[in-house]
Each structure stands twice: as structure tokens, then as C-alpha cells.
Structure 1
């Protein structure tokens, strides 16, 4: 519940930031143009992102004939989660990872790399795929799209200001130094808020996935194993399309230090600690 509240606060923050920056840089006309552009781009992404991402990853759809064991596992987990059966995909890739996509539970897809199936036990794979189904159940694709819309609108506003200059509330040219600072800092702040929203949703998917599979320690073990195995190993498809990193169960582009601010996923050790506490007490710490 706390993570849902945190997500709502972050969404409110990015919306408020957009309104303030829009008024500073372009007045009503500039803000409307940027919002319409960002909305159009993200509307297209929302409806077609699943097919786009699956194509980027060279994913192949499988069924009960081509991947019977894996397919039946997903069917069992979907039934436990009270979800429609999603489309199931495999990606020929040694880097261990998995993701979910689709605009709603009725149009969802889950995918896993062949690498993750090779290094994890059946129990751990169930934990991972339950996590992905939790994303589907929580409609996280919708939340990500809305936050991306606002972040994209802020970037468009910054570009608008770069070419046309900012205006104050009375239509006079604004301070050029202030405009430059806003152009640089506003998209940066929006990205940080967007990353924070993504991290909050990962915690919720960990909790939801543990509840679906009924085995929090299995997901914790899987996360540790993926983290250790993936360190220093490149996931080529994500390297070529870094915008897809936020969809993965483990961010292949994340780093420590300052880079951690821009990570779409929480630290692995924190996720594991929360899951192990859930296994011990039956409660997921907030």
C-alpha cells in the first residue's frame, strides 16, 4: 500500500513539475504543444509497445507444443493470479532476464531469455515469472506510460525553450540564464522522478510475485543468482535499446554511485532483504 501511495505522490510531483515549467518557458501555447506531442508519441507506444519491444528482442512466441514445460508453468501461475493466459515468448540470449509487456491483462505477454531458464531452478523460474505476472496484474505498463508522457512533455518543453526562448506570465522574454537552467534541470528532474516511480513498482511486483507463487525466498534466490551471473555480461538487445531496460526483472544497464540515481530498479540486496523478511514473517516490509 505504501508503494502505491509513493507512486501517487511521484506522479503528482512530475505533473506539478510539468505545469510549473510549462508556465515558465512557453506559456499556455507552448505547454499545450509539448503535451500534445508527448501524448501522441506515448499513445502510439501504449498501443503498440508490446509488439515493438518483442520485435526488438527477437522474441519468438511459444506454446504448449514448442515449450510445454515453460508454457504450462505460466498457465499455472496465471490461474493462481486470476489473470487471463498471456502470450508467452522466449528470447535466444545468454544474459538472464525476463519481462512483461502489454497494455492490460487481456493483451499481455511475458518473455524470458534462454539464459535465465538455464541458470535458475524450476522453483526460481516460477518466482521470476510470478513477478512478471504481478506487473501485468498491477497494470504497471499503464503507469509507466503516463510517467513517460509527462517526462516526454517536459523534454519537449525544454527543446521549445531552446529554440524560441522562455516567456513570463505576461508574455515578455524571461531571464536567459533561468531558461537555460530550466532547460537542463527540468528533464533531469523528470527522469529522476520517472526512475523513482519504476523502482516503487518493482517493489510492488516483488511482493505481488511472492504472493502469486507462494514462495518469497524463491524469488529472492533468483534475484541474487541473476545479479551475480549478469554482472559484466552484456544483454545486446537492451544495449541497443536502453529504453527497454526498465521492463526487465533486473536492469542490465544499472550501476552504483551516481548512476544508481538513474537506475530503474532498486538495489538487489534491498529487494532480497525484503523478500526474505516476507518469507520469515509473512509480511512484506514497506
Structure 2
């Protein structure tokens, strides 16, 4: 419950920040324009983000004929979670990782790399896919898509304000120093909020995945193994080319993954494992 409340507060904060940047850009008209712009981006993201990210990673859809063990594992977990059967994809990448996408449970997809299929035991892989299905059940894909879209839109508006100046509520040019400060600080604040949302949702997905699989230790063991290979030791080209998708993965796939604290899209792996071990006890 705490993580859900925290997520709601963070989502409200990023929307408020979006309005403030819009107001700095053009007063009341700028704020309205920003909200319309943000709404349009959210609608586009809601409908097309899954197709875009799967194409970015050259994900190949599989079924019970082409990947029977993996597909049947996902089907069994989806039934345990009372979810519709998602589309199942495999990504030809050596780095062990996995993610879920799709605008709602009825249009969801889960994907795993060939690296994670080779690295993990069946029990550990089951824990990972239960984690991804928990994201689907919690509609985290929509939440993360909206937060990422808002952060990107805030950066775009801030850059616009930097080059063309802002307007106050009376329509007069805004203080140039204030405009520069907003243009520099707003994207940073938006990114920090987005990362905080992502970390909160990962903890919830760990807990939900443990409930779906009935085996918290399996996911804990899997995270320990993945940690040894992810975060740049085995680079993932699509993630490096599209770093905005890093928050979708079960573990940060980027070579800069050693950055801690506020600047991480994922909670510390050690803390995630500790919480799962506590659940198992």
C-alpha cells in the first residue's frame, strides 16, 4: 500500500512540474498548451509504446510450438495470476534480462533475452516471469510509460523555453535568469521523479511476483545471478541506444548501471533480495 501511495504522489508531482514548466513557457496559455501536448503524448504512448519497444529490441514472438517450455511456463503463471495470456517474445541478446509491456492486461506482452533463458534454472526463470506478470497485473507498464513521456515532454518544453524565452502570466517576457533556471532544473527534477516511480514499482512487482509464483527465493536467486552479468558486463545494444527503456527491465541493463541512489531506475539489488528472503521466511 505504501508504494502505491508513493507512486500516486510522485505521479502528481511530475504532472505539477509539467504544468509549472508550461506556465513558465507561456503563462496560462503555455500551461494549457503543455497539458494538451502532454495528453497527446500520453495517448500515443498508451496505444503504441508496446509495438515500438518490441521493435527496438527486435523481439520475436514465440508460441507453444517454437518455445514450448517457456511459453507453457508463462501460461501457467498467467493462470495463477488470473491474467489473460500475454504475447510471449524472445530477444536474441546475450545479456540476461526480461521485461513486460503493453497498455493493459488484455494487450500485454512479456519478453526475455536468450541470455536469461540460458543462465537461469527453470525455477529461477519462473520467478522472473512471475515478476513481469506482476507488472502487468499492477498496470505498471502504463504508469512507467506515462512518467517517461512526461519527463521527456518536460525536457522538450524546457529546451524550448531556453532558446525562445518564457512568458509570465501577464504575457510579458519572463525573467531570463528564472527561465534558464527552470530550463536546467526541470528536466533533472522530472528524471528524479521518474526514477523514484520506477524504483517503487519494482519493489511492488517483486512482492507480487513472489505471490504469483509462491516462491520468493526463486526470484531472489535469479536476481543474484542476473546481477553478475547485467549492468554493462554484457552490454545490450538496444538498451544503450534507447536508455529510456532501461526502467522496463528486471535489472538495469545500462553500462552506467553502477550509479546509485537517486540516479538509479532500479532499487539496489541487495535490498530487493533481502526483502524477498524476508517474504520467504
TM class, shorter-length: over 0.9
Question: How many angstroms apart in 1 are the aligned matches of 2:143 and 2:19?
Answer: 19
The alpha-carbon distance between structure 1 residues 48 and 191, as it changes in their structure 2 partners (threshold 3 A), is same
Residue 36 (structure 1) shift: 2.6
Asked whether the 8 Å contact 1:38–1:152 carries over to 2, the reply is no
TM norm structure 2: 0.94
Question: How many angstroms apart in 1 are the aligned matches of 2:118 and 2:21?
Answer: 48
Asked whether the 8 Å contact 1:25–1:165 carries over to 2, the reply is yes
Q: Is the aligned partner of 1:205 residue 2:200?
A: no
The gaps in structure 1 that reach 5 residues or longer are: 281-286
Superposition RMSD in Å:
1.5
Asked whether the 8 Å contact 1:97–1:112 carries over to 2, the reply is yes
The gaps in structure 2 that reach 5 residues or longer are: none
* Partner of residue 19, structure 1: 19
Residue 173 (structure 1) shift: 1.9
Question: How many angstroms apart in 2 are the aligned matches of 1:148 and 1:77?
Answer: 28
Give the number of aligned pairs.
279
Asked whether the 8 Å contact 1:203–1:271 carries over to 2, the reply is yes
The alpha-carbon distance between structure 1 residues 109 and 249, as it changes in their structure 2 partners (threshold 3 A), is same
* Partner of residue 131, structure 2: 131
* Partner of residue 255, structure 1: 257
Question: How many angstroms apart in 2 are the aligned matches of 1:51 and 1:94?
Answer: 22
* Partner of residue 182, structure 1: 182
Moved over 3 A (4+): none
TM norm structure 1: 0.93
- Residues 96-146 of structure 1: per-residue CA shift (max 9 Å, x gap): 000101100001111101110111111100000000000000011111232
- Residues 211-259 of structure 1: per-residue CA shift (max 9 Å, x gap): 00000011011001000122511011211221211111011125334x6
Question: How many angstroms apart in 1 are the aligned matches of 2:163 and 2:241?
Answer: 29
* Partner of residue 53, structure 2: 53
Asked whether the 8 Å contact 1:42–1:148 carries over to 2, the reply is no
